[in-house]
Structure 1
Amino acid sequence: MAHTEPTDDGVPDGLLGWCPVANMSRETVRGEGGPDIQHGTKHFRAGTLLWIPPVRWDPGHQRWRAVGRHRGNGGRYVNMVVRADDLENFRVKGVYSEALVRGLNGHGHDPAAPRTMQDPWTLERAQKWADARNHRGERAFFVDGNRRVLPGVSVPDPPPAEFEVDGETLYLVSHGQWGVQYSRRPRPVERLPGS
């Protein structure tokens, strides 16, 4: 166990670097023909702590490289690309493990310098990145036909019942575990018996 007492310069003893982290969401949504709710993903259990290394290459489509303990390989760290929507609770943690450094460095890891992080986060940069992920609005989805993300559109929580995008009014269909979903058609008004 590494000692974490601050040294004279205020840095915990044994600290190898800083890194933003997040947890795998309790429920993840999959499925083209309709929502398929899962607990975690194929590779990571719900709640798994994932470390987000600085971007060296962009996997695109709101996906990030993440390092975490795989659900089925004896607790070793693995590198995977995960969907940003499947992560929650962003924050910053200190890195103290050489095994974690090896995972964060990926193919660029230098065995001659096992405690050296390649392209490390600064504490300030990591905190700013994590704060931005926690304070963003919810992504909005368009559900007429196939479900798709409205590019560049995020809505506050609670989401508005309707809003305008490119001169077109969109109406709230649902807000819940499948995200915020909008349609071109307003929701039908439910009639109560006897009214």
Structure 2
Amino acid sequence: MTDTELTGEETPDGLLGWCLVANVARETLHGEGGLELQHGTKHFRAGALLWLPPVRWDPGWGRWPAVGRHRGNARRYVRMIVRAEDLENFRVKGVYSEALVRCLNGYDHDPAAPRTLQHPWTRERAQSWADSCNSLREPLFIEGQRYAHPRISVPNPPPPEIQIDGETLHLARYGTRGAHYSRTAPPVEWTPEP
């Protein structure tokens, strides 16, 4: 038995299952070139708690299905596809609400078993995902390429220079969307002689 498993005596009353959760980032970048700064997203306010069911189909690169309370109606749960880069503070939480179970199940919800998650996380698997999502690694973008490098990420903060395939790349800018590297060296700053 691992440290994260609960015995029957340790299971909280009313627990219906475990789920990976995250908060919507305080500041998100949108628009042409990611230059438009927003607080939260169009559908979720900044800091909103989102429940992330296990991905059973591919919603697109860097996107996840999420369940949360909508910015316009905080009483009901809605299911949306969100960008992974708009999420932070991943962790594992217990599911206790039948309404949340219904939304997490989506089309697979069985009205005969309203308290049953159809595709549940195990606590260990959800914690593993949370740990990997919280690791301080940033996506790497190379000048002239629209998407992040598929195999390489850099530590946070990123190094000023890196070597990829024998080519030296220089840090051009660094922001919430990752580290952007350029093939051209930064200009040398002129300093007056005394």
TM-score w.r.t. structure 1 length? Answer: 0.89
The alpha-carbon distance between structure 1 residues 34 and 121, as it changes in their structure 2 partners (threshold 3 A), is: closer
CA contact (8 A) 2:22 2:88 kept: yes
CA contact (8 A) 1:32 1:146 kept: no
SS in 2 for 1:54: coil
Give a deviation string over 1:128-169, Cα, whole Å, max 9, x none: 111111115111122x34653222221011211111223322
Give a deviation string over 1:100-142, Cα, whole Å, max 9, x none: 1011101111111111001111111111111111115111122
Residue in 2 that maps onto 1:163: 162
**Whole-angstrom distance in 1 between the partners of 2:8 and 2:146:** 54
Amino acid at match of 1:44: F
Residue in 2 that maps onto 1:185: 184
Per the TM alignment, residue 7 of structure 1 is displaced from its structure 2 partner at its CA by 8.9
In structure 2, stretches of 5+ residues that fail to align are: 1-5
Residue in 2 that maps onto 1:127: 127
Matched, 1:79 2:79: yes
**Whole-angstrom distance in 2 between the partners of 1:187 and 1:107:** 53
**Whole-angstrom distance in 1 between the partners of 2:17 and 2:173:** 42
The alpha-carbon distance between structure 1 residues 179 and 8, as it changes in their structure 2 partners (threshold 3 A), is: closer
Moved more, 157-166 or 48-57: 157-166
Identity between Structure 1 and Structure 2 (%): 65
Once superposed, which parts of structure 1, at least 4 consecutive aligned residues long, lie more than 4 Å away? none
In structure 1, stretches of 5+ residues that fail to align are: 1-5
Give a deviation string over 1:21-53, Cα, whole Å, max 9, x none: 000011111123452111111011111101110
